[in-house]
Amino acid sequence: MNAISSRVESNSNRVTTGLDQRRGSIAEVLAPLDAIAASSTNLVANYGARFQADGQSYVLPRYLFVGPRGGDTPIRLGIFAGIHGDEPEGVHAMIQFIKLLEAKPELATGYYISFYPISNPTGFEDGTRHLRSGKDLNRLFWQNATEPEVQLLEAELRSWSFQGIIALHTDDTSDGFYGFVRGATLTKHLIRPALEAAEKFLPRDGRPVIDGFNARNGVIRDCYEGVLSAPPKSRPCPFEIILETPSAPPEYLKQCAFVAALQTILLEYNKFIAYAPNL
């Protein structure tokens, strides 16, 4: 999203620009999740990840959804949104997805899903792509960065050893939905059905080059250095998917496309696990 439109959007949502109110905007957006977590037997809110930025105290929002028991050991997934503060689409889609899981927990059978709806709280507050420090959070991972946001997220990635990592982003230079794959070989078998599911709501970006990378049917196998990812040399190698929605379509369609893609990945990965428990 470009700086001007995001600024207008974030200002129109803000009653004042006072510091407390800015913090309030995050609480307001996440209020539906906190309300669910307050009474849910599946969703747990964990406010324990705190950091300081600009002399103010922040929380990295974390929610854990515990699906009904499946196989022997739960499958650990990490889903991240709001890595760029001016991309609210993923944030809202994640909230919708969690609402769906709360209504139909069986969709998450066998899963422990860690949700990070606002991975870049200062950027989200400011309506900017970057952290308040001015750096792009999605270029800082596993490079000994000192930014507290990176360190908190790296600690989550390390301690959970996710079997799958999914990040939700927005691309204002694309007219279609697409994704990046990294990590485990099976990843490409997960993203194809996910893009097909999203295609019911948004066209796919079929260009041969997207965002400077070679692409095929909306799938890119290359990536920027320092994107949010599993710790280097993680074994077994998790699947890693970045989903990108175009920014222009109506909000509802963008959310539906993300939710359909996420639901499909859960379903397809469960099938893989059933066939090959040692993947």
Give the nearest distance from C-beta 137 to Zn ion in angstroms. 9
In the complex with Zn ion, the residue whose CB is nearer, 3 or 274, is: 3
In the complex with Zn ion, the residue whose CB is nearer, 167 or 256, is: 167
C-beta separation of 107 from 100 below 8 A? yes
Please name which of 36, 58, 219 lies closest in space to residue 115, comparing C-alpha atoms. Answer: 36
Should residue 130 be labelled a site residue for Zn ion when binding is judged by CB under 5 A? no
Stretch that binds Zn ion, among 18-26, 30-38, 63-71, 162-170 (CB under 5 A): 162-170
Stretch that binds Zn ion, among 63-71, 147-155, 167-175, 212-220 (CB under 5 A): 167-175
E strand map for the chain: 43-46, 50-53, 56-59, 62-66, 75-80, 111-116, 164-171, 178-183, 209-210, 213-216, 219-220, 239-246
Q: How many CB atoms lie within 10 A of CB 37?
A: 19
In the complex with Zn ion, the residue whose CB is nearer, 132 or 169, is: 169
List phi, psi (to 5°) of 273: -60, -40
Please work out, in degrees rounded to the nearest 5, the angle formed at the alpha carbon of residue 116 by the alpha carbons of 135 and 250: 85
3-class DSSP state for residue 65? strand
Helix, strand, coil percentages (3-state) for the chain, rounded to 5, are 40, 20, 40
Single out the residue of 22, 132, 169, 254 in contact with Zn ion (rule: CB under 5 A): 169
Give the nearest distance from C-beta 97 to Zn ion in angstroms. 18
According to CB under 5 A, which residues from 247 to 276 bind Zn ion?
Answer: none
According to CB under 5 A, which residues from 72 to 91 bind Zn ion?
Answer: 84, 87
Site string for Zn ion, 95-124 (x = CB under 5 A): ------------------------------
Give the nearest distance from C-beta 72 to Zn ion in angstroms. 36
Please name which of 82, 83, 86 lies closest in space to residue 2, comparing C-alpha atoms. Answer: 86
For residue 70, give Cα distances in angstroms to 58, 74, 77: 35, 7, 14
Give the nearest distance from C-beta 129 to Zn ion in angstroms. 7
Give the nearest distance from C-beta 237 to Zn ion in angstroms. 23
Give the nearest distance from C-beta 25 to Zn ion in angstroms. 19
In the complex with Zn ion, the residue whose CB is nearer, 81 or 108, is: 81
In the complex with Zn ion, the residue whose CB is nearer, 84 or 92, is: 84
Residue type, position 140, single letter: L
In the complex with Zn ion, the residue whose CB is nearer, 62 or 84, is: 84
Give the nearest distance from C-beta 167 to Zn ion in angstroms. 8
End-to-end CA distance of the chain, in Å? 37
C-beta separation of 81 from 93 below 8 A? yes
Say which DSSP state 177 is in: B
- How many residues touch Zn ion under the rule CB under 5 A: the total is 3
In the complex with Zn ion, the residue whose CB is nearer, 34 or 175, is: 175
Give the nearest distance from C-beta 161 to Zn ion in angstroms. 24
> Across the strands, what pairs with 46?
62
In the complex with Zn ion, the residue whose CB is nearer, 84 or 132, is: 84
The residues that touch Zn ion, with contacts defined as CB under 5 A, are 84, 87, 169
